[in-house]
Structure 1
Amino acid sequence: MQVTRDFSHYVRAAGAGVQHIDLAVEGVHCAGCMAKIERGLSAIPDVTLARVNLTDRRVALEWKAGTLDPARFIDRLEELGYKAYPYETESAEAGEVAESRFLLRCLGVAAFATMNVMMLSIPVWSGNVSDMLPEQRDFFHWLSALIALPAAAYAGQPFFRSAWRALSNKTTNMDVPISIGVCLALGMSVVETINHAEHAYFDAAIMLLTFLLVGRVLDQNMRRRTRAVAGNLAALKAETAAKFVGADEITQVPVAAIHPGDIVLLRPGERCAVDGTVIEGRSEIDQSLITGETLYVTAEHGTPVYAGSMNISGSLRVRVSAASEATLLAEITRLLDNALAARSRYMRLADRASRLYAPVVHATALITILGWAIAGAGWHDAIVTGVAVLIITCPCALGLAIPTVQTVTSGAMFKAGVLLNSGDAIERLAEADHVIFDKTGTLTLPDLEVTNAADIPAGVFELAGRLALSSHHPVAAAVAQAAGAKSPILSAAEEAGQGVRAVVDGVELRLGRPSFCGAEALVVGATLDPEASVVAFSKGPEKFILTVRQGLRPDAQAVIAALKARNIGVEILSGDREAAVIAAAHALGIVEWRAGVTPADKIARIEELKRCGAKVLMVGDGMNDAPSLAAAHVSMSPISAAHLSQATADLVFLGRPLAPVVAAIDSARKALHLMRQNLWLAIGYNVLAVPVAISGVVTPLIAAAAMSGSSILVMLNALRARSASREIM
């Protein structure tokens, strides 16, 4: 009977004519595994993306819609030596916990056996230079075998299974030379014990497994800590929401059943499941993930709320603007996934080196054995030397050198409010020596504020706010929010491009352009903020003007000073009015600025700087910034940016502060330094270790300690990337 596998439930649309699925893959431990999987899957016709996330052992696949059955990917992975199944957060986490416990059990067995075998080896070592009888030595060797063989059979499973899967599919991975080395050492030790030889290598084999398991447990724990960031985001997602199905009737429905325009109830103590705007009620909400502010924010009519925000006190009615995978939280999660799966230039270099290593290691060990045999050594000594070479040259350190730094840096950047959107963004950001800022929405906050609210009589301002609630214009929204308006004037009518008007108690109210409100004279005679937009309000014969502007980000001045302190050039390129750009540049201490520039002008300036040898970081948020973001050496956008800009930018930063720009540069520079260090550590180790092992002066025990020590060293070095950013204040 033929079994049909239907994975359509796990497939989702990823754009026009493209489908996407995430698969959990067992047995992925290093950069070599990543490269093999990506090559093998990318070779399937119509596959447009195959990217492995080493942190959570997941592969993301995209293909032309309707051309492939997802079951084919699982079959192909099986051919490559990896077991795969559809990725689900809960099952993946459960599997990860089970694997972690299994590794700890293996480590416990290996460590216990190592201690006991070493204790038995000490009398043998001392007896070989004293008066120990051969029978006594054989007894200790057999006792060591009784402990080491079953312990190695159990503790070596993570390596043996992986190596067997690879060999059964006619491929190799880094676990193949490890398994061969352990099995040869154990096999030789049994033969030596049977032949009453002076030396056996049970201690070397079991100690090798212990060191390797320590490294693997440390690596897994490091990845789980980084992956916990994504888990924390997932925990913010509410699966259901209370949807209004009538005027006063609600029903609890899955988020997938909620659509833009629906109205939901957000009760105290609940997390918001959607993005939307408050239309009724008043409360305090915690939306620190989006704004970076740890203080609670007052939520009332007109206040935007985001999925993942926690409602603290009162009940709110929220009109939905986005739900499910369209929310800002979902976008942040996708960007974080990109960050954890990002592939750098240095990682690709390590990939290529790792692919060559397995055959080179095996060839080197074989040549060493034959060379020693030809030189007149016995087969025993030749094989012992070959085992030492096989063990000491295992490329684990090289395979871990770059992915560990990439993983730790991605987690550190997220904690600083930065998400990677490009594989080699870290290296390119580390090279940046000149920063170009757009002004509006980048140096300034995306939200508008009324700057002269204190100059308007309270009663008048309240009326203006109520009238503003009847308009959808962003300037009107700023007026309504500043006035704390809760109830709109229902009789109001909006005139496109002019403003909104209504009659209250026989008096006409108008809000909009000064000419619409008859307030031109007030504008002509006033000294206005060059960055502000002017909106007028009239109450019968009374005329008032309100100035609305985007304020500078709260730490913009400190960030500019911090960039200059790092010898990074700073300038502003903005399409805004000259007076507004001058005011911002003067406030921030930026000497170089240009106003009224077009997207083509920005690109021309970036190309000019490139010709002068500069590595330009472009920071912008508008849709018209997308071309210049793509043209720059590296680019960043705030999370509030237009979607096109986010898609173009290499990095995205969260919240209101601008500090993540400096934090990202510091983290990138530290990461690049650590990547280079790790590569040189891995390469230098092999340059020194291989000749020594070939010369025959290294035993398998010393080889095991050296190889494992090099792997642990690069991982510990990578952990230094967790704290890279310097103070900017």
Structure 2
Amino acid sequence: MPPPEFIEAIGGPIRRGPSDDELRLASRDVGGGMRQTDLSVPDIHCGGCVQTIEKALGALRNVDSARVNLSTKRVAIRWLGDGAPPAMVETLLDLGYEPGLYETHDDGKDNALPALIRALAVAAFASMNIMMLSGSVWSGANGPTRDILHWICAGLALPAMLYSGRVFYLSAWNAIWHRRTNMDVPITIGIALAFALSLYDTIHSGEQVYFDATVSLIFFLLIGRTLDHVMRERARTAVKSLARLAPRGALVVQNDSHPEYLPLSEITPGMTILLAAGERVPVDAVVLSGASDLDRSLISGESVPIIAEPGTLLEAGILNLTGPLTIRAAAAEQDSTLANIIRLMEVAESGRGRYRRIADRAAELYSPVVHLAALTAFVGWMLLNGDLHTAVTVAIAVLIITCPCALGLAVPMVQVVAAQRLFVAGIMVKDGSALERLAEIDMVVFDKTGTLTSGSPQLLDPQDIDPGILGLAASLAVYSRHPYSLAIARANSSRAAAATLTAISEHPGLGIEATKDGDRYRLGRADWAVSPGAVETGTVLSCNGTELARFRFRDALRPGAGDAVKALRNAGVTVEIVSGDTMEAVAIVAGQLHIATHFSGVLPGGKAERIATLRREGHKVLMVGDGLNDAPALMAAHASMAPSSAADVGRSAADFVFLHDNLAAVPMALTIASDAGRLVQQNFALSVLYNAIALPVAIAGLVNPFIAAVAMSLSSIIVVLNALRLGWGGHRTRPVSANSVPYAAASRS
């Protein structure tokens, strides 16, 4: 074996990784005597890597399961907690993957994308210039002029070979060194042989060289690799956004009663924490003292803040709105509600990764088939005429003409065009592979608050309230950020002038109090504003304890909600509501939209469980939601959508984000995805047909490496042109219908 310094210099791995002690400290107890260790493996880049790693780790003693998340490049290993950790690090190193401990709060930049773009730029520059110079040779340049042009092409090709091509060389070398293969091995062999043969012919004044084929091959392959990386990297932003919701630390009261700011990782159950208004709860906790309003919409989906008082249980991530609280930590950081939601999202993403491109699924078969075809061509031509130069040329042509560029572009190019069509319709695509999944759905699950409704309560019948009374209530309401206060202020925006108030104060969880002309006015809970201690409900305005007006509120439906649900139902798609809001609020919305199946009071884990149940029943579910409480369900669903008004985490977790308020975006997206699905199938058929024709032609020696590169490029261009049809003629966006959603009927048969 070469020395480590040599291996590292040529791209091979140096044996590094966390020790057994670090693995045990970083692992967590998942019950049943099992522990889970999460490792980061940056070198994972295709479906073949996923299968290799899961198979090798799953075979280790005491390992219960190993799951790879291709988007976050994370490997989760469950193992028996007794004794030392299994040899997971050593196994990964033997496979050629260097692991590290996975950090949920990784806010690091994507360093791989700039490197890919630089490599792509170098290859594009070299390719364009070599093609231009090659045109002179094709036009009839010969003798010394031709030799000079060939040497210039060699000089241009060399930096593209060394710099741009290393993306494939390092991957291929790593696979070969560890006695396995991948798609980059035949690509590397083809590039190296084409360059070597061209350099040989240049030195010996040959008439034909293939530098143009070499560099063009690198360029087209890098386009596919870059598009693939961009789409996978976007999936990681959901977990990053969710992790950023948690504060980095909290103000903890130590034994000497002096507050001290501690990092989140150092907060343990039983510690006393001071939580100011406007801060998020750092870990699950219990209120010891104080009173405040809490915004739990990101956790439960409820549209109305709840009151915090001594004994109230607080989940990590909820927002303290109006007053300071003293709380006692009930869980450590890794056991908090927020951490559990992060894990739910990552588990869901790992499972969803199995719907990635067919090109990834074919990775294991592609490499050995191409090697065998090239070897067969080489041996056959050596036996036929014994000319080594001809045999090598034919083998190179086989390697190049069977390059999976068209196959690799079949999906991403349709995704790019579909993304543009969706953007014109006000819909952004967050995950390219979601188009394929969206075209398969047969059921839509809606969240209520902020999705089917606007998420902003509105005052009912403001015209029936005396303008003077409404103006007085609005004068009080402008001093509060409570959703009901905001609704009252909006309802009076152009009706009555503000009253002159003094001694204004907000009582957290109760309401607003002020004085006017010696009278005490209160706007808030009835049992506080009218008669403290009495059994009263609702929101009222009172003067010296006497009720002046009672206010009722309703969360209005989002524009287009009725038409969208009707269009989905007409297309044969089943619709239901799963919400964390109250039974009454959900029933009202379900009745307005004529949705028979609806669930209320559902927590984040329950929403994901409902999606999982529907999947087990055979449904392909589209989840449409907007809050943190919807994030695990968005990740677990077959496809997912969120409005632009959604929480950052909801937008990041969703596959699609619609920019306008109208829910017509949902059936519109289904239509475009259905059209895109048909074009993807056509592109795959074209790719298979191309290879079925091109491979025998190349083996027969009827094409040289340059013609092979041209043919490979033409197949890619045909695929791209077919993808562009998504915006032409019969593929113009049209309303969703039973004909445009053929999967609906198929799923019920």
Change (3 A) 1:569 1:304: same
1:77 corresponding residue in structure 2:
92
DSSP 3-state at the match of 1:7: helix
Change (3 A) 1:148 1:75: same
1:682 offset after TM fit, Å? 3.9
Q: Which amino acid aligns with 1:25?
A: V
Q: Residues 479-494 of structure 1: matches in 2 within 5 Å?
A: 486=507
Residue of structure 2 aligned with 1:317, choices 291, 302, 325: 325
Structure 1: distance between partners of 2:429 and 2:190: 43
Q: Residues 442-591 of structure 1: matches in 2 within 5 Å?
A: 486=507, 511=535, 557-569=562-574, 586-588=591-593, 590=594
1:504 offset after TM fit, Å? 14
Change (3 A) 1:217 1:172: same
DSSP 3-state at the match of 1:381: helix
Is the 1:419–1:653 contact (alpha carbons within 8 Å) kept by the matching residues of 2?
no
Structure 2: distance between partners of 1:237 and 1:665: 35
Structure 2: distance between partners of 1:242 and 1:214: 49
1:298 offset after TM fit, Å? 7.5
2:711 corresponds to 1:700: no
Change (3 A) 1:180 1:642: closer
Structure 2: distance between partners of 1:241 and 1:694: 69
2:21 corresponds to 1:25: no
DSSP 3-state at the match of 1:210: helix
1:107 corresponding residue in structure 2:
120
Q: Which amino acid aligns with 1:563?
A: L
Q: Which amino acid aligns with 2:212?
A: D
Structure 2: distance between partners of 1:652 and 1:147: 46
1:531 corresponding residue in structure 2:
none
Residue of structure 2 aligned with 1:686, choices 674, 691, 694: 691
Change (3 A) 1:13 1:649: farther
1:167 offset after TM fit, Å? 0.9
Q: Which amino acid aligns with 2:617?
A: A
Change (3 A) 1:509 1:214: closer
Residue of structure 1 aligned with 2:619, choices 633, 656, 660: 633
Is the 1:373–1:382 contact (alpha carbons within 8 Å) kept by the matching residues of 2?
yes
Q: Residues 401-440 of structure 1: matches in 2 within 5 Å?
A: 430-433=439-442
DSSP 3-state at the match of 2:37: strand
2:276 corresponds to 1:266: yes
Structure 2: distance between partners of 1:624 and 1:228: 24
Q: Which amino acid aligns with 1:381?
A: T
Residue of structure 2 aligned with 1:253, choices 249, 262, 287: 262
2:71 corresponds to 1:42: no
Is the 1:418–1:652 contact (alpha carbons within 8 Å) kept by the matching residues of 2?
no
Q: TM-score, normalised by structure 2?
A: 0.64
Structure 2: distance between partners of 1:301 and 1:720: 57
Is the 2:249–2:262 contact (alpha carbons within 8 Å) kept by the matching residues of 1?
yes
Deviations 1:360-397 (A, max 9, x none): 00111122233444554844233222212102213355
Is the 1:440–1:446 contact (alpha carbons within 8 Å) kept by the matching residues of 2?
yes
Residue of structure 2 aligned with 1:59, choices 74, 82, 86: 74
Change (3 A) 1:647 1:360: closer
Change (3 A) 1:111 1:395: closer
Is the 1:347–1:403 contact (alpha carbons within 8 Å) kept by the matching residues of 2?
no
DSSP 3-state at the match of 2:55: helix
Structure 1: distance between partners of 2:186 and 2:618: 44
Deviations 1:433-457 (A, max 9, x none): 46699999999999999999999xx
Q: Which amino acid aligns with 2:249?
A: T
2:176 corresponds to 1:161: no
2:377 corresponding residue in structure 1:
368
Deviations 1:526-571 (A, max 9, x none): xxxxxxxx9xxxxxxx9xxx99999797676455324224343558
Change (3 A) 1:100 1:446: closer
DSSP 3-state at the match of 2:78: strand
1:172 offset after TM fit, Å? 0.6
**What is the RMSD of the two structures over their aligned residues, measured on CA atoms?**
6.5
1:201 offset after TM fit, Å? 1.7
1:335 offset after TM fit, Å? 4.3
1:235 corresponding residue in structure 2:
244
Q: Which runs of 5+ in 2 are unaligned?
A: 1-15, 470-482, 489-504, 511-526, 539-545, 600-604, 648-660, 727-731, 737-749
DSSP 3-state at the match of 1:264: strand
Q: Residues 199-238 of structure 1: matches in 2 within 5 Å?
A: 199-238=208-247
1:158 offset after TM fit, Å? 1.6
Structure 2: distance between partners of 1:644 and 1:103: 31
Q: Which amino acid aligns with 1:252?
A: Y
DSSP 3-state at the match of 1:93: coil
Structure 1: distance between partners of 2:204 and 2:113: 40
1:470 corresponding residue in structure 2:
none
Structure 2: distance between partners of 1:271 and 1:191: 68
2:479 corresponding residue in structure 1:
none
Change (3 A) 1:46 1:435: same
Structure 2: distance between partners of 1:407 and 1:246: 59
Deviations 1:97-142 (A, max 9, x none): 1x334334433443444345445434433345xxx33x44334434
Deviates more, 1:712-721 or 1:686-695: 712-721
Change (3 A) 1:322 1:51: same
Q: TM-score, normalised by structure 1?
A: 0.65
Change (3 A) 1:389 1:50: same
Structure 1: distance between partners of 2:392 and 2:103: 47
Is the 1:681–1:714 contact (alpha carbons within 8 Å) kept by the matching residues of 2?
yes
2:123 corresponds to 1:93: no
Change (3 A) 1:372 1:79: same
Deviations 1:168-206 (A, max 9, x none): 111110110111001111121222233332112223222
DSSP 3-state at the match of 1:198: coil
Q: Which amino acid aligns with 1:65?
A: L
2:134 corresponds to 1:121: yes
Deviations 1:319-349 (A, max 9, x none): 4677734555445533443454344665486
Q: Which amino acid aligns with 2:699?
A: I
Q: Which amino acid aligns with 1:54?
A: L
1:301 offset after TM fit, Å? 4.9
1:644 offset after TM fit, Å? 12
1:517 corresponding residue in structure 2:
none
Residue of structure 1 aligned with 2:153, choices 144, 155, 174: 144
DSSP 3-state at the match of 2:139: helix
Q: Which amino acid aligns with 1:59?
A: R
Deviations 1:598-642 (A, max 9, x none): xxxxxxxxxxxxxxxxxxxxx985989986774352456977889
1:76 offset after TM fit, Å? 1.8
2:5 corresponding residue in structure 1:
none
Change (3 A) 1:346 1:66: closer
DSSP 3-state at the match of 2:108: helix
Is the 1:368–1:385 contact (alpha carbons within 8 Å) kept by the matching residues of 2?
yes
Change (3 A) 1:220 1:482: closer
Structure 1: distance between partners of 2:156 and 2:635: 57
- Identity of matched residues, %: 37
